Each structure stands twice: as structure tokens, then as C-alpha cells.
Amino acid sequence: MSPAMATDGPALAELLLQRLERAGGSGLGSLEAAAALGLEHQQLVGAVKSLQALGEVIEAEQRSSKRWELTSEGKEIIQEGSHEARVFDSIPAEGLPQSKLMNLPSGKVGFSKAMSNKWVRLDKNADGGPRIFRAVESVQDSVREKLQLVQQGEAESLEEKDRNELKKRKLLTEVVIKTYWIRKGSAFSTTVTKQETDLTPEMIASGSWRDLKFKAYNFEALGIMPESGHLHPLLKVRTQFRQIFLEMGFTEMPTNNFIESSFWNFDALFQPQQHPARDQHDTFFLQDPAKATDFPMDYLKRVKKIHSQGGYGSQGYKYDWTLEEARKNILRTHTTAVSARMLYRLAQQEKFTPAKYFSIDRVFRNETLDATHLAEFHQIEGVVADYGLTLGDLMGTLREFFTKLGISQLRFKPAYNPYTEPSMEVFSYHQGLQKWVEVGNSGIFRPEMLLPMGLPEGVSVIAWGLSLERPTMIKYGINNIRELVGHKVNLQMVYDGPLCRLDA
């Protein structure tokens, strides 16, 4: 069998097995086997690996050994002779002008070596400039001879100083090669059974799978991702939050109106008209259409009164409330504007019935943008309206809600919001950061907001809110909000985004 034929996989593997059979129990080295079979070492290694994949046919122990190899320049010298020999050969009897010799390919290196070997001499005073002559009749190209020894695998027979000299001339290099010491395995056989890669319908039909050997899987391989569509991570988290609220019996509010009047966004929430949030620097005002017109006028009058004069047990803010300010259209700064509309609607029912509402939708702030702030983000909000709700009820509801998010350690801090009183910020202990971090804000809506709507006196409304982006960024390990939201996001992030399981 010729080496050429042996290069195809199974044949080569069988060739190796036969050799191993002959080698007996002690086994054989891959380097020697390759040399004996006249193959590149790498080809033999391929055969070893394919045999390893079959199980216990062979045992292969990886070893590393050093070996001297010719550099490309070394290989050239074996073909063409050393530079100094080439210089010697190119000098005719009448000699050669030095300038001409220097232009030869081996000129510079060859000349200095030939000079130090005393093979040539230089006549500086020759006619027509310095001239080189042969100094001896013939030369022995020992450099070439030494390299030939290396090529034949006999580098060890050279003296160390010769090897170092050749290495210094960059003709030799010492390489580390990974080799195998191969022994028979427990399932040794000199023939290779063809292994199946896939189970086919035919195998199942004929039952041949019982007798076939199947190729082991390579679990190191990366695999091929199936082609598919992907949902956006932020909206995957939104789906989970929606699910949580629905599990808790909360009804979804209609938040499909980005545009809101200042009246519903601020005034209805008892947020005074001079409040900083109503500033140009915080809120997007509309140029067109600039003013809203349709308000429930009786209710609006009660709102005006509570702001400017008080009532319902409140001192009010005592300032000149203007309709003009309330009419200004804006991009809603919070979804609480919708909560206000819903609570107003609830108050118009003939008989009050308890309600639990939620929403998750976009809100807008005319803020300075940075790594955690964009001009638009999503607000998550929950609201419960019933007779006799307590601060303890709010805390208990928050505990249930956050438990569903996988957050169990909660702490509450007094806070100030214009339309809730009492108000509490919700903190959870972050194991990674080793500190308490704010996870939400909450409170009981002020009577000045609820009573003008017409809700019965004993009804309390508890509410809480948080952003959708922040928990998503924490969950998906994203530090810059621009990498999560907007048209500049890398779609790869969307493709690669894993499942969202908030409580796992």
C-alpha cells in the first residue's frame, strides 16, 4: 500500500493499527511512526484522534518533545549551497569587481563568511577598483553538509556549538512538537468499524441501529444557532411584569395616550402649578396642539378650589390657580396621569366598587441624558383602591409583588411625593453591591387628590411605581441604557438575550 493511499482517513488509521499490532505491548511513538510511514506528523496525529474517538481501541498519551528543524533559509541552503559557497562558485579565475559581487543575492553574507574562511582574497589596488579573487582551489561546503544531517533527522549527531552557530544564522530552529505515545487499548482491533453519525429512518425501520456503532458527539463544538425571530429583552421583562400583576388580580389601564393635558398629569394629582416638575426643563410641552379643551368642568372647579383655597380638611396651597396652565398639553411625565383618569372614572360609578389597576408604559422627561437617563422610559405602576386600606396593606402588597420578582429583603424609608402621603421609598438588599438600593417608590394618594374626584371619604388608594428599564438592565447586565433602548442598539444583543425569569 502506497503512502499516498494511506492518507485517506480509515485506511491510514488501519495502517497505524497494524503497526501498533507489530509493535506489541510497549507501543510506539507518533513521530517515529510518521517517519516510518513517510507521512507528515500532523496526518498521523489526525489518525490517532479519529481512533481515540472510537473509544478504547487505542490509548494515546500526549508527550511533547523538542526537535531541530530547518528554517526556510536553511532549506534553501540545502538546495543552493551556503552563501559563502555560492560566492566562491561565482568568482571566475580572473576575479570579480567587489561592487559586482556585492550585488549578487548571496553577496554580502557570503563574502564576509568566505573571507573569514580564507576562501577568497580582496585586492584593493586592482585596476578598475577593488577586486575579489579565489584564494583556494576548491572548498568543502560544511554548512550545507550539517544542514543535510539535520534534514535527515540526525541533528543530535552535530556538535552543540555547530547547532548553536546554525541557529544563530537562523538556519535552524528548535521546535516543540506534541507527539503521542500510542498503545493498544482494551478494545484493540486492527480493523476500523465505520461509525454512524446520525440515526436514520431506514435504521429505525430495519432495526439495524441495534448493531451499528454511533460516533460520539463532540460536545466541545459550538453548534449552529437555529434561525429565528427574537423578542426585545425590555419587552420580555414587560411581559413578566404584566404577568405578575395579572396573577395578583390587577386590571390593566388604557395607557395608549402619550399626550396628556397638564390638568390630568399634574393638577388632578394636587401637584401645584409652580412645582419644579412643571418646568420647561423637566417636561415636554406641545407646540401643536398646545392646549387641551375637554375637561369635566365640575371636577375641574373642585380641583381649582383645593389648590387655591383648600377644602376637604386641607389648607390647600393658597395660590392663584389658572386654567391656562392646566390646559397646556404635554407628553405625559408619568402614567399616574392615567391612574388619575381611572380613579375619576371609578368615582363616577353609582356605587363604589374596589379596584386594582396596573400599567406599564412609556413616559417622557425633558431631562439631561446620561448612561441611565433617556428622554423616554417605561413606568410600571400598581394602584389599589378600597375602603380602609392601611400603610401596612401597602407594605404587604409590595412584599408580595417584589417576592414575585425574586426580591425578598425589603426596607421602607419615609419620603416625599407631591401626591402621596404617607410616602415610602422601597429599598432591597443587593447581594452583589452589599448595600440597600432603592427599587421603587410608593404611597397613599392624598385626600386632596381623591376627594375632589368624588371618591367616598373612607376609600384609601395605595400605589407604587418603578421603572422597567432599571430592573431589566440589572437582569441583563447592561450598564448603559443606550445599549438597551432605541434604534442604536446592537441587534446581536436582542438575538442573544436569554429568557427572562425574574424570580430565578
Q: Report the length, in residues, of the chain.
A: 504
Residue 464 binding another protein, by CB under 8 A: yes
For another protein, the binding residues in 275-304 under the rule CB under 8 A are 276-277, 280, 284-290
User: What x/- string results for residues 338 through 367 when contact with another protein is judged by CB under 8 A?
Assistant: -x--------------xxx-----x-x-x-
Q: Nearer to another protein by C-beta: 98 or 261?
A: 261
Residue 252 binding another protein, by CB under 8 A: yes
Q: Work out how close the CB of 397 gets to another protein at its nearest, in angstroms, rounded to a whole number.
A: 6
Give the interface size with another protein as a residue count (CB under 8 A): 114
Contacts of 87 (CB under 8 A, 6+ apart): 101, 104, 106, 107, 110, 111, 113, 114, 120
Q: Nearer to another protein by C-beta: 74 or 443?
A: 443
CA 324 → CA 328, 329, 369, 424, 448, distances in Å? 7, 10, 30, 33, 21
Q: How far apart are CA 275 and CA 64, in angstroms?
A: 77
Q: How far apart are CA 153 and CA 285, in angstroms?
A: 85
Interface residue with another protein, options 114, 347, 442, 470 (CB under 8 A): 442
Residue 334 binding another protein, by CB under 8 A: yes
Q: Work out how close the CB of 23 gets to another protein at its nearest, in angstroms, rounded to a whole number.
A: 51
Interface residue with another protein, options 212, 231, 371, 437 (CB under 8 A): 231
Q: How far apart are CA 383 and CA 250, in angstroms?
A: 8
Neighbouring CB atoms inside 10 A of 391's CB total 15
Q: Work out how close the CB of 323 gets to another protein at its nearest, in angstroms, rounded to a whole number.
A: 18
Q: How far apart are CA 269 and CA 461, in angstroms?
A: 13
Q: Work out how close the CB of 428 gets to another protein at its nearest, in angstroms, rounded to a whole number.
A: 13
Assign 180 to helix, strand or coil: strand
Q: Work out how close the CB of 473 gets to another protein at its nearest, in angstroms, rounded to a whole number.
A: 13
Residue 256 binding another protein, by CB under 8 A: yes
Q: Nearer to another protein by C-beta: 14 or 469?
A: 469
Q: Work out how close the CB of 417 gets to another protein at its nearest, in angstroms, rounded to a whole number.
A: 5
Interface residue with another protein, options 86, 113, 134, 446 (CB under 8 A): 446
Interface residue with another protein, options 74, 107, 110, 447 (CB under 8 A): 447
For another protein, the binding residues in 364-393 under the rule CB under 8 A are 364, 366, 374-376, 379-381, 383-384, 386, 388-393
Residue 241 binding another protein, by CB under 8 A: no
For another protein, the binding residues in 258-277 under the rule CB under 8 A are 258-259, 274, 276-277
Scanning 14-22, 39-47, 60-68, 307-315 for contacts with another protein by CB under 8 A, the matching segment is 307-315
CA 294 → CA 260, 261, 297, 345, distances in Å? 11, 10, 9, 15
CB 377 within 8 A of CB 482: no
- Amino acid (1-letter code) at residue 169: R
Q: Nearer to another protein by C-beta: 19 or 305?
A: 305
Residue 494 binding another protein, by CB under 8 A: yes
For another protein, the binding residues in 407-436 under the rule CB under 8 A are 411-424
CA 394 → CA 9, 292, 401, 424, distances in Å? 72, 34, 10, 10
Cell of 403: 417576592
For another protein, the binding residues in 170-229 under the rule CB under 8 A are 227-229
Q: How far apart are CA 114 and CA 120, in angstroms?
A: 6
Burial 449-488 (b: 16+ CB within 10 A, else e): bbbbbbbeeebbbbbbbbbbbbbbbebbebeebeebbeee
Q: Work out how close the CB of 262 gets to another protein at its nearest, in angstroms, rounded to a whole number.
A: 13
Strands 355-364 and 251-252 turn out to be: parallel
Assign 324 to helix, strand or coil: helix
Residue 400 binding another protein, by CB under 8 A: yes
First to last CA, the chain: 62
Scanning 63-71, 115-123, 134-142, 405-413 for contacts with another protein by CB under 8 A, the matching segment is 405-413
Residue 397 binding another protein, by CB under 8 A: yes
Neighbouring CB atoms inside 10 A of 496's CB total 12
- Amino acid (1-letter code) at residue 307: H
Q: Nearer to another protein by C-beta: 196 or 376?
A: 376
Q: Nearer to another protein by C-beta: 89 or 325?
A: 325
Q: Nearer to another protein by C-beta: 183 or 242?
A: 242
Neighbouring CB atoms inside 10 A of 60's CB total 19
Task: Tell me 269's DSSP state.
Answer: G
Q: Nearer to another protein by C-beta: 183 or 482?
A: 482
Peptide bond into 254 cis (omega under 30): no
